[in-house]
Structure 1
Amino acid sequence: MALAVTASSSSTSIAFSSNSRKEQGVQFSSSNFQPSDRFNSSPAALSLSLKRSIAVKPLNAEPKRNDSIVPSAATIFAPDVEKAVGIEDIEKLAKNLEKASPLEIMDKALEKYGNDIAIAFSGAEDVALIEYAHLTGRPFRVFSLDTGRLNPETYKFFDTVEKHYGIHIEYMFPDAVEVQALVRTKGLFSFYEDGHQECCRVRKVRPLRRALKGLRAWITGQRKDQSPGTRSEVPVVQVDPVFEGMDGGSGSLVKWNPVANVAGNDIWNFLRTMDVPVNSLHAQGYVSIGCEPCTRSVLPGQHEREGRWWWEDAKAKECGLHKGNLKEESVNGNGAANGNSSSANSDIFESQNIVNLTRPGIENLVKMEDRKEPWMVVLYAPWCPFCQAMEASYNELADKLAGSGVKVGKFQADGDQKAYAKQELQLGSFPTILFFPKHASRPIKYQSEKRDVESLMGFINALR
């Protein structure tokens, strides 16, 4: 479609020329949009509309290819969409759509925001979002953050998705100068030592911020069951609490989460039913997929987020893209409100064969250089879902070791004890399992993610 504008002191005329074409089962033609109805109001309205259309740019700075099946602001003249509405209106909309299907939510989002909304695609199971958008029959945009550290399989998957749907993904890249400064100053893998937030801020958050400044709304694949610590209250639509949209300022961006109420198994049933292409990493045990150095496969029974930033505790398993999920009261970093985990959660590992170590007790155990008996100790937090998942196996281990000469203990290492546990007990993430040998002062850390009884017994038998 071509747009020609001619202006003079007495009149302004706009001419459209387009060949009708059928894309994704939807017929597009110049008659659909009736431009004359939009510009007959006043010269001032014309000037404002022209100014707005010029300001709407693609998410990235690269010129879009003319053969794109997904229309953008440069290829179709979409109807005006309303500006960001008030928080009350969005809350009402979220309530009305709470029980709606993902397809219905997606259709409403695309209808409401037209070309000013885009799907955020990570290269994982959120390909379901693209399939839902495709099924609505409406034009849609997709963008992705290329951090420069993704798996080769993910890059191949991007290409497969583009060809399958006949779309062009709009890629966003980190600032080269910022990446260069970070790597030259701290090295390629500084996130293993000082946390992933700085690297994610450079490679993901800031590119996302630039992308969203060209939109009024965005669509994410967040689900409530993805991360019990940070995503359990994700609504289907909300005013974005962190990022700004095209108009700038608080409330200028709306965030849609069409699959918020969908379980992970149901997502996969949908992908299989619709014969949707998926990332080949999923077949290797990867569930939640991010950058290659920070993502690994998970074992059967482990939560999907255990494969992300596995060296950090559950509360830190967000990169900053969805920072609004983190509750202000959980400022102590242990996932418990008001810094008091024990008051809000019942304790775990309550077997009669497990010794509950206090701070003085664990300090004495560390100082002993000639112990009469070896000890197996878990550093845990009652709120941690990964600690909860191993409770049964650890209790069974303690029962098996009763009377064997190996003591089994637990030490609650969150809250006020976390700093000490990190400095003196090698705490990296919850749970951390330590073996204190009989004739050695330094405890030995259990490195495996396998926390079944057989694996833990093998670890003990190799050392005692």
Structure 2
Amino acid sequence: MAFAVTSSTAIRSSLSTPLEQPKAAQVGAFQPSDRHHLPPAAVNFSRRRCAVKPLNAEPKRNDSIVPSAATFFASEVVEKIDVEDYGKLAKDLGNASPLEIMDKALEKFGNDIAIAFSGAEDVALIEYASLTGRPFRVFSLDTGRLNPETYRFFDEVEKHYKIRIEYMFPDASEVQDLVRNKGLFSFYEDGHQECCRVRKVRPLRRALKGLRAWITGQRKDQSPGTRSEVPVVQVDPVFEGLDGGIGSLVKWNPVANVKGTDVWSFLRAMNVPVNWLHAKGYISIGCEPCTRAVLPGQHEREGRWWWEDAKAKECGLHKGNIKEQNSNGGVHANATVQEADLFNTNCVVNLSRPGIENLLKLKSRNEPWLVVLYAPWCRFCQGMEQSYVEVAEKLTGSGVKIAKFRADGEEKPFAQQELQLGSFPTILFFPKNSSRPVKLSI
């Protein structure tokens, strides 16, 4: 769910020796035909025929991975598919092998799907894709803070599979502002979420807006406390796809039910490239300042953001797949971790009940206010988090106050009666010279 504000008078103001690898099969690349924009639908993904032809030159790169992601040549045509019940499909594929799941994903989405490659053991995804004999695409997020071994690994993978990985980079001005204002290692002091949002989540969001589906290496055993509900396929609860809006993107997790030890057995059997950091005790690999080796017997996530609480060890790329444990010991799937709130930035004011009551009482305000009524567990609130934060950052210094008010639980009756809450999220605009807020549609 995207949220935008239009300016108006109202809102004015790893460097090691590469492994010897067997030659990959003869490959080429294919170029997608011009796409036609279709009306958005929750899970209605129409396909159209695409021209397949090899390219002699390296593909042109831009902010979307659609025109030029990594491809494996195969002469076949993607046909139209009908509306799919992905909940049912997930159950049907519950006992399927990763290869079968990968084949189904590539068959359904053709050149509108891509593998998200982190530079760790999810190279297994690329191997499974190559074994299907179908075209496939690969993209990766280059945060600018990866280990030298990871960059060397990227190069080995490209050469082994004869592909070109489509790298997504963070916005240079955003990184510059973050580093100039807070330093190179601010995440050690105030948590990794802000840095991950700039260097990982926003580039991922740009990449996914050029796709209708993506493939990840999530496994249930990666973090039993937060990822145990990961299905093999789902409608992505957080990110948007090509057609826009929540429900416009499908997420495939072919190795969701596979144990990490089995993934490594597969990699060794297939003799594929692996990141040299694994030999140094690294299991889960991310950015260099936030990743370290683990001791024998430690869980793989212990090597990520080790200075933080275990429940916070998610960067935001898979927010829709983490679960919350409540006070009764139960869990709420597809929710944020209990301690993880939304819209966490200095640009957004956190209003308490007295605070928003005072805002309601003011007949004349010094500044206009924009307030989101939200619930952290709501997937639509999660989906618009990034857009709202971006608006808040852009309006900093403009004279408009940006705020949030958690309106679920005991606050919901008050919000429904006094704040026009109908569903989450609800956006209210409090004009400078008016006693009542205006409810905005999003």
Q: Do the structures match in fold with TM over 0.5?
A: yes
Q: Deviations over 1:353-386 (max 9, x none)?
A: xxxxxxxxxxxxxxxxxxxxxxxxxxxxxxxxxx
Number of aligned positions between the proteins: 290
Give the equivalent residue in structure 1 for 2:276. Answer: 280
User: 1:24, 1:134 within 8 Å by CA — same for their partners in 2?
Assistant: no
Provide the TM-score with structure 2 as the length reference.
Answer: 0.60
Provide the TM-score with structure 1 as the length reference.
Answer: 0.57
**Cα distance between partner residues in 2 of 1:337 and 1:68:** 42
Give the equivalent residue in structure 2 for 1:79. Answer: 78
Give the equivalent residue in structure 2 for 1:94. Answer: 90
Give the equivalent residue in structure 2 for 1:337. Answer: 326
**Cα distance between partner residues in 1 of 2:258 and 2:197:** 28
**Cα distance between partner residues in 2 of 1:70 and 1:147:** 25
User: 1:81, 1:114 within 8 Å by CA — same for their partners in 2?
Assistant: no
**Cα distance between partner residues in 2 of 1:65 and 1:116:** 10
User: 2:120, 2:274 within 8 Å by CA — same for their partners in 1?
Assistant: yes
Give the equivalent residue in structure 2 for 1:170. Answer: 166
Shift of 1:218: 0.2
Identity over the aligned pairs, expressed in percent? 75
**Cα distance between partner residues in 1 of 2:149 and 2:305:** 19
Query: Given residue 79 of structure 1, which amino acid in structure 2 is its aligned partner?
Result: V
Please list, as runs of the form range in 1=range in 2, the aligned pairs for 1:15-414 lying within 5 A after superposition. 24=25, 60-61=62-63, 70=72, 78-82=77-81, 85=83, 89-327=85-323, 330=324, 336-338=325-327
Rg (Cα) greater in structure = 1
**Cα distance between partner residues in 1 of 2:262 and 2:251:** 22
Query: Given residue 316 of structure 1, which amino acid in structure 2 is its aligned partner?
Result: A
Which structure 2 segments of 5+ residues have no match? Answer: 1-23, 37-46, 53-58, 332-442
Larger RCO (CA under 8 A, 6+ residues apart): 2
Shift of 1:69: 5.6
Shift of 1:181: 0.5
Query: Given residue 135 of structure 1, which amino acid in structure 2 is its aligned partner?
Result: L
Structure 1 residues 295, 68: closer, same or farther in 2, change over 3 A? closer
Q: Deviations over 1:144-185 (max 9, x none)?
A: 000000000000000000000000000000000000000001
Shift of 1:82: 3.9
Structure 1 residues 342, 256: closer, same or farther in 2, change over 3 A? closer
**Cα distance between partner residues in 1 of 2:65 and 2:214:** 21
Q: Deviations over 1:274-327 (max 9, x none)?
A: 001100000000000000000000000000000000011111111000001233
SS of the residue corresponding to residue 220 of structure 2 reads: coil
**Cα distance between partner residues in 2 of 1:63 and 1:307:** 30
Query: Given residue 137 of structure 2, which amino acid in structure 1 is its aligned partner?
Result: R
**Cα distance between partner residues in 1 of 2:87 and 2:121:** 27
Structure 1 residues 215, 58: closer, same or farther in 2, change over 3 A? farther
Q: Deviations over 1:437-457 (max 9, x none)?
A: xxxxxxxxxxxxxxxxxxxxx
**Cα distance between partner residues in 2 of 1:132 and 1:210:** 25
Structure 1 segments (4+ residues) deviating >6 Å: 25-30, 48-51, 62-68
Which structure 1 segments of 5+ residues have no match? Answer: 1-22, 40-47, 331-335, 344-464
User: 1:175, 1:202 within 8 Å by CA — same for their partners in 2?
Assistant: yes
Shift of 1:27: 10
**Cα distance between partner residues in 2 of 1:302 and 1:24:** 38
User: 1:124, 1:288 within 8 Å by CA — same for their partners in 2?
Assistant: yes
Question: Please, what is the CA RMSD of the aligned residues?
Answer: 3.6
Structure 1 residues 226, 29: closer, same or farther in 2, change over 3 A? closer
Shift of 1:111: 0.4
